[in-house]
Amino acid sequence: METFQSLLAKKLSDALKAADLPDAGELTPASDPRFGDYQINAALVLGKQRGENPRVLAEKIVAHFDAGDLCEPPGVAGPGFINFALRPGAVGEKTMEVLRDERLGVTETESPRRIVIDFGSPNAAKPMHVGHIRSTLLGDALARIAQFLGHEVIRDNHIGDWGTQFGMVIWGWKNLLDRQALQRNPLAEIVRIYKETNHRASNEPGVREACRQELIKLQAGDKENLDIWNECVAFSMQDFERTYKVLDIHYDIQCGESFYHDRLPGVVERLLKGGIAEISEGAVVVFFRDVPELADKPLIIRKRDGGFNYATTDIATIDYRVNDLKADAIWYVVGAPQTLHFKQIFEIGRREGYRADLCHIVFGNVLGEDRKLMKTRSGENVPLRELLEEACRRARKIIDEKNPDLGEDEKNDIAATIGIGAVKYADLLQYRTTDYIFSWDKMLSLHGNTAPYLQNAYVRIRSIFRKAGNPPLKIGRLIFADAAEINLAKRLCQFAEIVPQVLNGFRPNILANYLFELANSFHTFYEACPVLKSEEPARSSRLALCDLTARVLQRGLDLLGIKVPERM
């Protein structure tokens, strides 16, 4: 379906052609609604390029512009902006089109790609903590949006299940394990022995060496160590699954680091043969002498003792994703500290001749109210599950106050929807690369740019329909008697323009902010325009606007991984 933006862009392109000018500038929503709905800076850009007066150029473009029924004859403002104000008739028709469309106007891409999204990717034998939130939520939202836009998405959990931590876990398992504690809470016990071993290894060289030996035995396929490893990974996976269930996160594949273990010798050999890697002081190393920023940052892919590392695994991983999974693109949603790692890996991929589009999608940190990295009182990382439980507890309090008569089960369900939604939204609302401060009060507020506010707008609409007895929608045509009605309709039509933009720069915050604006437009409308008490045909027209608002809110939140309750 064409959007207003695409329709205007076409007309503009025609006008520029007719005026003997090249395409230029960017068509954007108007910065000030008093000047119209959209604006373009084409004349300013062309003026600069050609050393001509932009206002004169703007007048020339406008003179060739055929507005048709779409908008009023465009005006020129300021130094040469061209403004477009949509005609109410065009808004009414487009809104009807969107109403009838299950996809709410969002067109599927014309160039679908197969995209592997590597997100979440926690480490086995360690609990997931608040630091994993951003990768998990961001990756999930991008996956949902890419899929909705018609891409083929493969969600991959690249679990750290083969790292050096297992040398310690195995030594701890053999020397410190409390079997009863393991039965009660397996992951907690594994984490305990890991931490204690880690502590001892840093003070006792003997323990450090013993851990190293356990790791070597594991990697050489020692049966006892493999069994312990298997058991630890299984316990970790169960623990992750519980959290994914709460968060409604799903993976298509979970090829952890161990999946690539057998391929590592082949990777090193191939890179040596291809002249991409060389032997240096007994290790196999890739140098990036011709890449200025990496020139003094060689990468070891086989250590002197024959061991492989995280980087070797990632080279094998690209190979698998490109050659076996046939990925056109791989998106790595991983924190900024791994920037150098991915630059090196991508450069190797380039040298190997992979044509897939490789992106490292970084993000900022989650901070506590003290603006430092979020930690528990004892200075540890905040375990993710505890945080999510706290979110539900706090949301439950809100429901107890707001709607005390609901049944116990329903209250708990709604609390989960609101609590988890609040955590997700607070994260996705942020500009991806900035740090943000985690604040319960802010994220759970019913008034402000929060999930509960948006969910409440949805609930309000559902209650209008319940009150009306859920009548089938009668939508002949929309009536715009009040400015709030046409403003809401225009907002609704923008959904189709916003969703594809999220993937330019991977910014779910654009969608979050749009939904907030939509809820605001709805509240303005709701205050100005009675719905159920109004006469026909206004009543049906307003009900249609309500219905569409609810559907856009629901779909938009769903694309962010957030559910809506029917009441709250």
Which residue ranges make up the site for ligand ARG (CB under 6 A)? 118, 121, 123, 158, 160, 314, 317, 332, 334
Give least dist CB 518 to ligand ARG, A.
Answer: 34
Nearer to ligand ARG, 58 or 334 (CB): 334
Give least dist CB 381 to ligand ARG, A.
Answer: 12
Nearer to ligand ARG, 83 or 135 (CB): 135
Give least dist CB 239 to ligand ARG, A.
Answer: 15
Angle at 428 between CA 2 and CA 122, to 5 degrees: 120
Nearer to ligand ARG, 118 or 189 (CB): 118
Nearer to ligand ARG, 330 or 422 (CB): 330
Give least dist CB 432 to ligand ARG, A.
Answer: 16
Both structure tokens of 356:
């897939």
Rounded CA separation 55/70 (Å): 23
Nearer to ligand ARG, 57 or 218 (CB): 218
Distance in angstroms between the alpha carbons of the first and the last residue of the chain: 35
Give least dist CB 367 to ligand ARG, A.
Answer: 19
The number of residues in the chain equals: 568
Rounded CA separation 432/134 (Å): 9
Give least dist CB 549 to ligand ARG, A.
Answer: 39
8-state DSSP, 292: G
Give least dist CB 342 to ligand ARG, A.
Answer: 8
Nearer to ligand ARG, 41 or 317 (CB): 317
Residue 419 CB neighbours (<10 A): 27
CA distances from 366 to 23, 104, 415, 428, 438 (A): 42, 34, 23, 12, 6
Give least dist CB 242 to ligand ARG, A.
Answer: 18
Which residues, other chains included, contact 20 with Cβ-Cβ below 8 Å and sequence gap of 6+?
A: none
Give least dist CB 168 to ligand ARG, A.
Answer: 16
| Element of type H or E holding 117 | strand 114-118
Both structure tokens of 187:
């992951």
Nearer to ligand ARG, 24 or 334 (CB): 334
Q: How deeply is 63 buried, as exposed, middle or buried, from its count of CB atoms within 10 A (0-12, 13-18, 19+)? A: exposed
Rounded CA separation 544/522 (Å): 12
The rounded Cα 360 to chain-centroid distance in angstroms is 13
Rounded CA separation 485/481 (Å): 7
Strand partners of residue 332: 118, 360
Backbone angles phi, psi at 375, to 5 degrees: -135, 160
Both structure tokens of 499:
């969703």
Angle at 183 between CA 177 and CA 186, to 5 degrees: 70
Do 235 and 192 form a contact (C-beta atoms < 8 A)? Answer: no
Closest CA to 485 of 542, 547, 553, 552: 542
Nearer to ligand ARG, 83 or 317 (CB): 317
Give least dist CB 332 to ligand ARG, A.
Answer: 6
Nearer to ligand ARG, 342 or 514 (CB): 342
Nearer to ligand ARG, 328 or 497 (CB): 328
